Structure 1
Amino acid sequence: MVNDQEVPHETADATVSPAPAQPAVLPSAKKDFAGYLVLIAGVGALAWGLVSAVGTGWGFWAYTSGLKGLTWAFFLGIGAILIGLLQGWRARRAITPPPRTRRWAGMLAALIYVGWVGTFLFKALTVPAIHDVSTDLADPPAFQTLQLRADNLDNVPGADDEEMRGLTPQQRWAVVHQKNYGDIRSVRINEPVPMVVAKAERLAKARDWDVAIALPEEGRLEATETSAFFQFKDDVVLRVRPSDTGEGSIVDMRSVSRVGASDLGMNAKRVRSFLADLTGTVSAAR
C-alpha cells in the first residue's frame, strides 16, 4: 500500500515559463502632440490664406473679408513657426527626442505662407498709400467709358501732416505722388496719334487686358487689368494728343485701383512697364 508521502508530484519536474517581457514604451514612441499641432497650424495657415484669396476672386465674399482671412492666417503661420522652434529647442535637450518630420513639414508650410504675405507687407511699408498713378498730375487723363471710383480721394495720406495742412485731397495726392513717383511723366513718341493708340491697343491685348474702348482718331484707350488670385481690377486710361509742333504725339497714362487704399506700387509699376513697351525703351525697375 502506497502512502501519500510516496506519491510523486507531477508538477515537481514541470518547467514554469516566465511571462513574456513587455517592451518598454519610449517617450519618442508616444504621440507627438506638438508635432501634430505644428503640422495642423502650418498647413492650415497656408490653406486658409489661399482659400481667402481665391474665394475673394471668385466672389464668395467681399475683399475686406478676404484680407482679414489673410491676416489671421498670417498670425497662425507665425504661431506654427514659434511653436516649432520651441519644440525643436526642447527636443535638443531631451534624451529621446520626438519625431521631427511633422514639425518640419508644418514649419515649412507656415514659412512659405508667411514669407509670401511678408513680401506684400514689406512692399506696403516702402510705397505710398495711394492707388491712383498718373503721368500728368495737373490734368490727369479722365475716364469716360470706365467709371472712376467714387471714393478715389477719400483716404489720401497727409491729412495730419503739418507740411500739407490746408491742402485739398487732390493737392495732397499730387504732393505724395511727386515725391514717390517723380519719374512717371508724359512721354513723347514720334508717331501720329492714331498709330500710337493702335499700338497701345495691341500691347494691352497682349497683356490680357480687357479693352473697354480704343478710339485711335480721338487718341483715347481705356482698359482693365485683373490680378490673378484676388481678381482685383485696376482701370487704365491712355490719352494721346498731338505735340505742339504737330510732329509726333504726347502720351499720358493713368492707372487706378478699384478697391483698397494702397496699391502696393502696382499702378506705378504698370505705367512704367507699359510706357516703356510703347516707346521701345527700358522701364526703370522700382
Structure 2
Amino acid sequence: MNEQKQDDVPDTAATKGVSAAKTGRFASLRNDPKGWLVAILGIGAPIAFLIASVGSGVGLWGWQAGLGAVPIILLVAIITLLIAIVGVILDRRKGRKTRWPLLGLGTIVTVGFIGIFMNSAISIATLPAIHDITTDLADTPEFIALTLRADNWDNIPGADDSEMRGMNPRQRWATVHQDAYPDIRSVRIDQPAPAVIEKAKRLAEDRGWEIVSVDAAAGHLEATATTSLFRFKDDVVIRARAAENGAASIIDMRSVSRVGVHDLGANAKRVRQFLSDLSGTTTAASQ
C-alpha cells in the first residue's frame, strides 16, 4: 500500500528541473529581447537568401522570384544592423550594460552578409546594364550551335542619351561596352589555332562548363557556363584565327547571359580570367 502511494507521488524534483529550464529560457528572452531579435534576423537573412537562390536554381520557382526576394532580404539585414546600432547607443545613453553574446553574433553575421552585396551594389552603380561581352566589337564571334537570346538587343542603355541619338541598339551596346570595358580585347597567342582551341576545351572542362560544340580545325568552340547558386546559364563562344602563316593565333571570345539585363560584370570577369589562363601571359592583339 505504501509502495503504491509512493509510485503515485509525482517526481517533484524532475518537474521543478524542467520548469526551471523553461523559465530560464523565457527569462533569457525577456531579459535580452534585442539580442534575440538581432540574432534571429541576422542569421535568418543569409538563410533566406540561400533558400531563394537555391530554390530558383533547382526550379522550385522562377529566377525572377528568386532575384525579387533579394532586395527584401537585404533590406531586412540593413534594418537588423540599424536595430543593433541603435540598441547599443541607447544602452550607453541610459547607462545599461549591453548584452553582447546574441547581439554580437547577429551583428557580425549581418555585417558579413551585407558586405557580400557591396561588390554587386558597386557594379550596378558603375557598370552599364549590358549582358553581352566580347573582345571584338566590330566583328563579334557568332554562335552556331547555340542560339543568341531573342531579346539580346532590347533594353540597351543610352536610348535617351543625346550623345547616342540616332544610334541603333547594337551601336549603343558597342559604345557603352567600349567605355566600360576598354581592356576586353582580342589576344595573340604563339600557337596554331587548332592547338589553342584544344587547350580552350580543356580549360572549359576544368571550369565545369558544358561543351556544346568544338571544331579545332575551324578554330571554333561553344560552351555553356552555369553559376553556382541561382544556376544562371551564360553562353560562351571562342574563335581562333590563324596569324603569321599559322604559327600564331588571334583569339576572340564572347560571353552572353541567357537571362537578365545587368550581368554585374560577370561576363567581363569570365572573359578576362579565361583568356589569361588560355594564353598564360595575355598579350593584346594589335587592332
**TM-score category of the 2 structures, normalised to the smaller one:** 0.7 to 0.9
Per-residue displacement from partner, 1:17-76 (whole Å, max 9, x unpaired)? xxxxxxxxxx99953222222222212212111211211111211111111211111000
- How far off is 1:173 after superposition? 0.4
Instruction: Give the secondary structure class of the aligned counterpart of 2:61.
Output: coil
Contact 1:193 1:249 in 2 (8 A): yes
Amino acid of the structure 1 residue aligned with 2:128: P
Does 1:48 pair with 2:48?
yes
Aligned residues: 258
Cα distance 1:281–1:98, how it changes in 2: closer, same or farther (>3 A)? closer
Instruction: Give the secondary structure class of the aligned counterpart of 2:262.
Output: coil
Contact 1:28 1:97 in 2 (8 A): no
C-alpha distance in 1 between matches for 2:28 and 2:223: 61
Amino acid of the structure 2 residue aligned with 1:256: V
TM-score by length of 1: 0.84
Structure 1 unaligned regions, length at least 5: 1-26
Does 1:198 pair with 2:198?
yes
Instruction: Give the secondary structure class of the aligned counterpart of 1:237.
Output: strand
Instruction: Give the secondary structure class of the aligned counterpart of 1:150.
Output: coil
Cα distance 1:53–1:194, how it changes in 2: closer, same or farther (>3 A)? same
Amino acid of the structure 1 residue aligned with 2:88: G
97-106 or 57-66: which moved more? 97-106
1:10-89 to 2 correspondences below 5 Å = 30-89=30-89
Task: Give 1:261's aligned residue.
Answer: 261
- How far off is 1:228 after superposition? 1.1
1:262-277 to 2 correspondences below 5 Å = 262-277=262-277
Cα distance 1:152–1:95, how it changes in 2: closer, same or farther (>3 A)? same
C-alpha distance in 2 between matches for 1:28 and 1:252: 62
1:167-246 to 2 correspondences below 5 Å = 167-243=167-243, 245-246=245-246
Q: In proportion to residue count, which structure has more helix?
A: 2
Instruction: Give the secondary structure class of the aligned counterpart of 2:256.
Output: strand
Amino acid of the structure 2 residue aligned with 1:59: G
- How far off is 1:236 after superposition? 0.5
**Structure with greater Cα Rg:** 1
Amino acid of the structure 2 residue aligned with 1:221: L
Contact 1:42 1:110 in 2 (8 A): yes
Identity %: 48
1:93-112 to 2 correspondences below 5 Å = 93-97=93-97, 99-112=99-112
C-alpha distance in 1 between matches for 2:175 and 2:250: 23
C-alpha distance in 2 between matches for 1:93 and 1:180: 48
C-alpha distance in 2 between matches for 1:225 and 1:148: 15
Contact 1:212 1:222 in 2 (8 A): yes
Amino acid of the structure 2 residue aligned with 1:47: I
Amino acid of the structure 2 residue aligned with 1:240: A
Contact 2:189 2:283 in 1 (8 A): no
Cα distance 1:160–1:101, how it changes in 2: closer, same or farther (>3 A)? same
Contact 2:187 2:282 in 1 (8 A): no
- How far off is 1:168 after superposition? 0.3
C-alpha distance in 1 between matches for 2:215 and 2:30: 72
C-alpha distance in 2 between matches for 1:95 and 1:194: 74
Cα distance 1:103–1:274, how it changes in 2: closer, same or farther (>3 A)? same
Task: Give 1:90's aligned residue.
Answer: 90
CA RMSD after TM alignment: 2.1
Amino acid of the structure 2 residue aligned with 1:85: I
Contact 1:36 1:102 in 2 (8 A): yes
Contact 1:29 1:98 in 2 (8 A): no
Instruction: Give the secondary structure class of the aligned counterpart of 1:236.
Output: strand
C-alpha distance in 2 between matches for 1:249 and 1:74: 46
Contact 1:39 1:102 in 2 (8 A): yes
Structure 2 unaligned regions, length at least 5: 1-26
